[in-house]
Structure 1
Amino acid sequence: MKLYGALILFVTLSTACGLRCYTCITVDPRSCTDTKSCGPGFDRCFSLKFNGVTTKDCLNSLGCAVGVMSCCEGDLCNSAVPTGSSVLLLLVSSALITLFL
């Protein structure tokens, strides 16, 4: 039962921290390693490549309607290298809940 409580606390804390996105302005998208927690109202991460320069940051879903940039949902989803941490966390938490409920 304590494990179940710890799992709920962990999921709650990760949700409360909000969306995290990579943020940079660089020529080499693989060198973009800085992250930040997006503020209220920012619910997407984006990547924009223009004239060889890549820009990554947080964005509102309305800004994604422009169509020039690539938008995504989920923590650190605008990476040059797929991270998969959000998917892994979802699978592990689903498995634990299935086992203990």
Structure 2
Amino acid sequence: MKVTSYAGDMKVLDVNSKSCVLAEECIEASANFGIGKTSITSRCCTSNLCNSQPAPEPSKSNPNGKKCFYCDGQKCTNTLSCEGNQDYCISTTVNAGSQKVTMKGCASKIMCSTQTTQAAGALGSDISCCQGNLCNSASSTSVGLLLLVAPLVSLVTLS
């Protein structure tokens, strides 16, 4: 499995891991929060010691026509064009010390799974996903770039 995170166009995280997993944990997924995005790629196999090859690099994704709100600074009224397999709008809450911060953006369906991400704290708590364009409402919040990347690192420890 490879977890890759970007702040803008700059790669800020590139973590590879190898282990034994259940078939449903072999995923391709991504989440885009406007100023930061994370992709998860995996290469799975079923024979002994077959995982010698690294997981593939995330593929370059094209806009898919879906639009969601995202937060930039104090406002969440910006619109984001979703890419590739990001077919849901997502809203989640992350603990930043004693403050709760809301993040919004585009996500793959698997990123909305409580089993995959919420249990690990990978995308925070109170994850809410919806499928209509701009369905993740535009209420005002604040978000820090570090908060977009740091919670996703914990997803790697789940594997």
| Length-normalised TM-score, structure 2 | 0.35
Give SS of 1:18's match: strand
Corresponding position of 1:75? 133
The correspondence of residues 11-90 of structure 1 with structure 2, limited to 5 A, is 18-24=65-71, 31-51=75-95, 52-66=100-114, 67=118, 68=125, 69-80=127-138
User: Which structure has the bigger radius of gyration?
Assistant: 1
**What is the alpha-carbon distance in structure 2 between the residues aligned to residue 22 and residue 47 of structure 1?**
9
Amino acid at match of 1:22: F
What is the percent sequence identity of the aligned residues?
Answer: 41
Give SS of 1:34's match: strand
Which 10-residue stretch deviates more, 36-45 or 61-70?
Answer: 61-70
**What is the alpha-carbon distance in structure 1 between the residues aligned to residue 64 and residue 109 of structure 2?**
19
Q: Are the counterparts in 2 of residues 25 and 56 from structure 1 also a CA contact under 8 Å?
A: no
Give RMSD over aligned pairs: 2.2
Amino acid at match of 2:67: R
Please identify runs of 4+ aligned residues in structure 1 that moved more than 3 A. Answer: none
Structure 2, unpaired ranges of 5+: 1-62, 119-124, 140-159
Q: Are the counterparts in 2 of residues 25 and 53 from structure 1 also a CA contact under 8 Å?
A: no
**What is the alpha-carbon distance in structure 1 between the residues aligned to residue 131 and residue 93 of structure 2?**
18
Once the 2 structures are TM-superposed, how far is the Cα of residue 40 of structure 1 from its aligned partner? 1.3
Amino acid at match of 1:23: Y
Corresponding position of 1:6? none
Give SS of 1:77's match: coil
Q: Relative to total residues, which structure has the larger helix share, 1 or 2?
A: 1
Amino acid at match of 2:113: A
Deviations 1:4-45 (A, max 9, x none): xxxxxxxxxxxx96110011155x6xx311111100110000
Change over 3 Å in CA distance of 1:17–1:60 after alignment to 2: closer
**What is the alpha-carbon distance in structure 1 between the residues aligned to residue 138 and residue 82 of structure 2?**
19
**What is the alpha-carbon distance in structure 2 between the residues aligned to residue 25 and residue 72 of structure 1?**
20
